[in-house]
Structure 1
Amino acid sequence: MNKLHGILIVLVLMISACDGDKAEKESSSKTTVVTTPVASENAWHKLQQQRQQQLDQYLVQQQVAYRWFADFPLGINDGVPFIILKLLPKIAPELWGSNENFLDVIGLHLDERIPDYPIARGIGWSGLARDEPNGAVDYASFTCGACHIGRVRTDEGMAYIDGGVNAHFNLPQYRVRASETIAKIVGDANDQEEKIKRMTKAVIAALDQVHTNDKNYFYRNYQLGDKVFDAEYEANQVALFKQNAPAIIAKFMGRTELEFQAFAALLEKNYNGFEAEMLNGFGGMADATGISTSFGYVVKRDVKKDPAANPETDLPPTQGITDFMAVWEQGKRKVSWSDDHKQLINGGGQWNGNIPIPMFRNLAAELTMGFGPETDVRVAAFAQELLENLPAPAYPFAVDMNQAEKGKGLYQQHCADCHRSHNGTVYETLGTDKGRAQVASEAITASGREGFTAICSPDTAIDMPQGTVTPCAEFEGVSLVGKAEFAMMDPALHDGYNALPLGGIWAQAPYLHNGSVPTMYHLLVPNERPAAFMKSRLDYDQELLGFSWRINSEAAQTEEEGYRYDTRAVKVFSNAGHDKDITIKGVTYKLDWSNDKEGAMAIIEFMKTL
């Protein structure tokens, strides 16, 4: 591993102009009161540049961790054989995307900052992480970057949001299209041996065709440090694949079927009557707990034939689809030990904070892909290293700093107390749908603890730049031996949501945990929240603070970016909540600004600076 770390150190990242900011407290303290619009614009522009420089420097310092986060696969030797993945548009072109990027149909984009990368951002292959380059067939899987490298369209072009939300990524669509691809090839075959034979024939025919015409078809002669994925590497991969093609293809078919059946089992239990919409998927969203638990359930049911397999206990009790989270500034969410080391306090993790320790939180995200023992713990460890102090992105558009200064006081009075760093309070009475907060039943929590600690026990050792480490041996200086209960907390303590710090809040639209409120204006002025709006556009509403959301009346006749999101379609999409003033310990906080829209707009202008 030291060799791999050495070769990654030489990378120089080109970072987009939309990123920046270390902390909201620093940003507010640096706000300059100005007296003219021109001076206001110049003050913000200067602050933007400072934050960009800070982010650039941070990512250069953390370039090894960044590449593991962005590009390295979550699985070690499991997933989709890389050769099969890149052949999908050849064997089923009607199901896969453009010639430029066939994975655009599942919301993965090409990243202009790495133009030589041989596939869309968000996909990695095992050869990147393997010490011996030619030791095994490459398996591809999604990376952290699939969900957490977002984009926004600016006047200067597309800007990338590292640690943000890929609002287009649609995991169900991959599983649906992969299943449909296999169904197309095997046709009317009923015998499993015949199905494998037909699939093998189609894959090998496509492989021979593309590789005869282009010896760099699969890896595009990509180089990462002194690791070169050239024609020689590719020829070796093709040879390894062909040596055992029927078995590799059978494994791919089996996994694809299990993934699809797992999703179907989840829909049957929790999304009755909404199956078609869920199969179509919602970009930038997932029922992550449902996806991860359903895979384990169908393995137990279909593979192990375990009579104890029970959807009522093995699958979540509620619908839990939510937006992906922004993951920068994790240090501000970090929990600490109580004095007696018997509780974790003063912080939170996911929406409801039920997985508070960063390593286990990262592993939970990885386990959504269902790799089990094949999960690469190093990815979680590098993500922890990168994300603790990853700066939030600076707002990429103009800010009226005079107006922001007016909003600062209102923000401090009504927002800052709850959205402060290290606030571990779980708010149970804000009126939001509690589905996501209740997905982890006691049985699922027990299973989660067992799974997390099996993959990363206190004895698990991995190679990192600083040498061999045991990332799950302790947390904040306290041993985790015998403390499996902290890998996933008692669900009774997390029946609500955390109020997270708001650094980079502009890039986290739409708002609430389920993305049901399109702009910050609609969050602050709840009586104007639209019941339906367009989601997952890349253009930005600079006035109301959110991505472009208005429904085009001609959308039914034209191809349009994004999709229509109806908050009435299913309970878990409800846009209720955070819509009534609250009193905590005798202090009243204004959440509904419907009678003071001028104040709401001032707060919005200040929030642009966070």
Structure 2
Amino acid sequence: MNHPLFKISAVVLPIIGLLAYGKVSGLFDSRLEAPKSTYVKPVPKDWVLAQAKRRADIADHIDTFQVNYDHFANFPVSETNGIPLIVLKLLPEVAPEYWGDEDNFLSVMGLFHDERLVGYPFPRGIGFTGLVRKDLTADIDYASFTCGGCHIGRVRLPSGEFEYLDGGINSEFNVIGYRERIVQSLNKIYGNETDESAKKQLVVDAFLTALDKVEAQDPNYFYNNYQYDGRVFDANYEAAQIQLFKNDATDIIAEFVTHQENVYASWVTLTEKLYPNIKDRINSGFAGMEDAIGFNAATAFQTFDEKMTTKLIAPLVMPASHGVTDIMVVWDQDSHDPVWNEDETRLINGGGQWNGHIPLPMYKNIAAQITLGFDNIDISVSAHAEKVLQKLPPAIYPFDVDVDLAKTGQQLFKDNCADCHQPNNGRVYSIMGTDMGRAKVAGTVITVGAQASFAGDANCSPTTTIEMEGKQVQPCAEYKGVSLVGQSKQVMLPPRVQNGYNALPFPGLWAQAPYLHNGSVPTLYHMLVPNERPDVFVKSQLDFDTQLVGFKWELDNWDEQEGYVFDTQSSPSISNAGHDKDITLDGKTYKLDWSDDKQSVWALLEYLKTL
């Protein structure tokens, strides 16, 4: 399953030829549309009962789709790629200054221990190949991030306990920070050594020394004697894994070093080109944010033969614009998904990402897996995720709501917001005043490459067959009853028709703070009252501001133990401008700036809590 953004040189030259002869127009004839009617979710009569019912619905849904949920939440995105599990868990031994303590060592990058995952040897968000590999003795275990690493979040309740947000946003997760810490750990081991072979030998020695230490101390150090679905990761399993690792440690560790350094160097290449104002800051990553398409494109560029003419290739492969965004919620995917037009030739009435350029849910999931930088991904993870996420209920607002005030806000929402923020609205909006970088990031080469590969044999063609729950299935054979044979143009829509942002529906809106595509507005209050938006605030805290509706954001009294400072004026890519002036669409004026009507603001906020 070699992905084009890593093997993209194979498609660049053919695309150049197609462009030269003007033969790609047929690839670019899809456009998502807006629904024809307006829906407004009513306010529940009894908020306490509504909370209890939603929580029960979530639990019932996960129980019904437990196998699918496990793949989404806990399973690695690749069966053959990743970081060697033994290497991952030895990082705090070889470079403790860059990692947290003991089994909580990945907390520094925002992964946390979910109390519901009893006995698991890693925090939520790390999977390993032993969970899925058919022959448990065939290879060492590799670890990789799971879908749940990004999409299971949490909020702290007044009691100090956490409520978990399945399908929500892990606003603490910093994947770039993780990559930076690995490179820092390697540099610590290198010291002043400059010879490449000597440097790699230093790394081999450091990890083998650490391995001998922990092996002598605890026979269950790596797996915690974990068991899952009849698989037992006990001391015997661990000893066998250690021996497999030692048998080929030099090559395993050398490959790990090369891959990690190249991956991080790719990100630095991207930031120097697209984030010159904040390149030093963004090289450490923003928790809860990513530039997925840019990262993949930069990695592809980094792998080109140095003899190739980079001046020709770079403008084609590297994005022309920055594309850093907040991680999105993925619950209730059915409210985002498109449908077919009457003659079943193109997709309408749906979106999905910030600009809806990947409309089909299966391929949205595949794109997310590929973001992690592997040549080979496990397609079944995407298929399981599609199944569990389609109708996964959004997290319910866990605090009190003034139902009467919310009913007043419901009418205000209907009059000013509902026409755009509809379920399955595929229309893109380019007049909102927000930074347009993310809408422009997927250029022609990236689009054609994705169309060719996502729906090709390398990833998931209509004939790709996988095993799911004991059955052989073809997850990319059709969509909503329509064959996807010959429909690769639906995989990623062309930039010229997606030049803007979706007005996304609002299931679980309260938990999606901060707001705008780039997470630059801390609360819903500041969305409605743009003249009070702070230029600088704290992101990724877990306490909640129930008055303004967003996670705690004030710089005052911030104890620096949680979250980080976010300066929206430091780069156009994270500007907090936009959605701040009244607009007229199709002859109707919509109020976006409520600064002169605070009474309505409080009513709207109360209603938005209930979605």
Q: Is TM (by shorter chain) over 0.5? A: yes
Deviations 1:526-560 (A, max 9, x none): 111111111111000001111111112x65xx533
Question: Any residues of structure 2 matched to 1:385-404 within 5 Å, and which?
Answer: 385-404=387-406
Question: Any residues of structure 2 matched to 1:183-198 within 5 Å, and which?
Answer: 183-198=187-202
Counterparts of 1:218 and 1:56, CA distance in 2: 31
Sequence identity percentage: 47
Q: 1:437 aligned to 2:439?
A: yes
Q: 1:315 aligned to 2:318?
A: yes
Deviations 1:271-322 (A, max 9, x none): 12421101121110011111111112112246xx544672222111111111
Q: Secondary structure at the match of 1:310?
A: helix
Quote the residue 1:496 is aligned against.
Answer: 500
Q: Secondary structure at the match of 2:428?
A: coil
Quote the residue 2:89 is aligned against.
Answer: 86
Q: Decide whether the 8 Å contact of 1:31 with 1:405 is kept in 2.
A: no
Quote the residue 1:259 is aligned against.
Answer: 263
Quote the residue 2:346 is aligned against.
Answer: 343
Counterparts of 1:559 and 1:523, CA distance in 2: 25
Normalized against structure 1, the TM-score is what?
Answer: 0.91
Counterparts of 1:306 and 1:126, CA distance in 2: 36
Quote the residue 1:36 is aligned against.
Answer: none
Counterparts of 1:148 and 1:335, CA distance in 2: 21
Quote the residue 2:417 is aligned against.
Answer: 415
Question: Any residues of structure 2 matched to 1:473-552 within 5 Å, and which?
Answer: 473-552=477-556
The farther-off stretch of 346-355 and 266-275 is 266-275
Q: Secondary structure at the match of 1:283?
A: coil
Q: Secondary structure at the match of 1:219?
A: coil
Counterparts of 2:40 and 2:76, CA distance in 1: 35
Give ranges in structure 1 of 5+ residues lacking alignment.
Answer: 1-24, 33-42
Q: 1:564 aligned to 2:565?
A: yes
Quote the residue 2:248 is aligned against.
Answer: 244
Counterparts of 1:559 and 1:354, CA distance in 2: 37
Question: Any residues of structure 2 matched to 1:107-506 within 5 Å, and which?
Answer: 107-156=110-159, 157-301=161-305, 306-307=308-309, 310-372=313-375, 374-453=376-455, 454-465=458-469, 467-506=471-510
The offset of 1:414, in angstroms, is 1.3
Counterparts of 1:134 and 1:282, CA distance in 2: 38
Quote the residue 1:600 is aligned against.
Answer: 601
Q: Secondary structure at the match of 2:283?
A: helix
Counterparts of 2:336 and 2:442, CA distance in 1: 20
Q: Decide whether the 8 Å contact of 2:290 with 2:327 is kept in 1.
A: yes
Counterparts of 1:96 and 1:348, CA distance in 2: 39
Counterparts of 1:206 and 1:31, CA distance in 2: 57
Q: Decide whether the 8 Å contact of 1:407 with 1:599 is kept in 2.
A: yes
Q: Decide whether the 8 Å contact of 2:277 with 2:570 is kept in 1.
A: no
The offset of 1:133, in angstroms, is 2.0
Q: Decide whether the 8 Å contact of 1:172 with 1:279 is kept in 2.
A: yes
The farther-off stretch of 186-195 and 422-431 is 186-195
Counterparts of 1:441 and 1:580, CA distance in 2: 29
Counterparts of 1:28 and 1:441, CA distance in 2: 37
Deviations 1:562-596 (A, max 9, x none): 11111101001111111111222222221111111
Counterparts of 2:249 and 2:141, CA distance in 1: 13
Counterparts of 2:560 and 2:427, CA distance in 1: 44
Q: Decide whether the 8 Å contact of 1:348 with 1:424 is kept in 2.
A: yes
Counterpart of 2:535 in structure 1: which amino acid? A
Quote the residue 1:576 is aligned against.
Answer: 577
Counterparts of 1:466 and 1:436, CA distance in 2: 40
Normalized against structure 2, the TM-score is what?
Answer: 0.91
What is the root-mean-square deviation in Å for CA atoms of aligned residues?
A: 1.6
Counterparts of 2:361 and 2:501, CA distance in 1: 17
Q: Secondary structure at the match of 1:489?
A: coil
Counting matched residue pairs gives 570
The offset of 1:55, in angstroms, is 0.8
Q: Secondary structure at the match of 2:304?
A: helix
The offset of 1:196, in angstroms, is 2.4
Q: Secondary structure at the match of 1:300?
A: coil
The offset of 1:342, in angstroms, is 2.4
Distance of aligned partners of 1:601 and 1:478 in 2 relative to their CA distance in 1, 3 Å threshold? same
Counterparts of 2:43 and 2:515, CA distance in 1: 26
Q: Decide whether the 8 Å contact of 1:62 with 1:386 is kept in 2.
A: yes
Quote the residue 1:101 is aligned against.
Answer: 104
Question: Any residues of structure 2 matched to 1:25-40 within 5 Å, and which?
Answer: 28-29=41-42, 31-32=44-45
Distance of aligned partners of 1:466 and 1:414 in 2 relative to their CA distance in 1, 3 Å threshold? farther
Q: Secondary structure at the match of 2:554?
A: coil
Deviations 1:334-354 (A, max 9, x none): 111112222210000110000
Counterparts of 1:362 and 1:28, CA distance in 2: 27
Counterparts of 2:190 and 2:575, CA distance in 1: 41
Q: Secondary structure at the match of 1:141?
A: strand
Quote the residue 1:11 is aligned against.
Answer: none
Q: Decide whether the 8 Å contact of 1:301 with 1:307 is kept in 2.
A: no
Counterpart of 1:524 in structure 2: which amino acid? L
The offset of 1:158, in angstroms, is 1.1
The offset of 1:44, in angstroms, is 1.1
Deviations 1:450-482 (A, max 9, x none): 331231111211101261111112222222222
The farther-off stretch of 190-199 and 434-443 is 190-199
Quote the residue 1:14 is aligned against.
Answer: none
Deviations 1:43-102 (A, max 9, x none): 211110011111110010111111111111112211100000000000110111123411
Counterparts of 2:586 and 2:40, CA distance in 1: 28
Counterpart of 1:513 in structure 2: which amino acid? H
Q: Decide whether the 8 Å contact of 2:103 with 2:122 is kept in 1.
A: no
Higher RCO (CA 8 Å, separation ≥ 6 residues): 2
Give ranges in structure 2 of 5+ residues lacking alignment.
Answer: 1-37
Counterpart of 1:361 in structure 2: which amino acid? K
The farther-off stretch of 192-201 and 363-372 is 192-201
Q: Secondary structure at the match of 1:568?
A: coil
Distance of aligned partners of 1:582 and 1:26 in 2 relative to their CA distance in 1, 3 Å threshold? closer
The offset of 1:105, in angstroms, is 1.1
Counterpart of 2:88 in structure 1: which amino acid? L
Distance of aligned partners of 1:469 and 1:520 in 2 relative to their CA distance in 1, 3 Å threshold? same
Counterpart of 1:400 in structure 2: which amino acid? D
Counterparts of 2:580 and 2:195, CA distance in 1: 57
Q: Decide whether the 8 Å contact of 1:27 with 1:609 is kept in 2.
A: no
Q: Secondary structure at the match of 1:94?
A: helix
Counterparts of 2:87 and 2:99, CA distance in 1: 13
Counterparts of 2:281 and 2:578, CA distance in 1: 24
The offset of 1:193, in angstroms, is 2.6
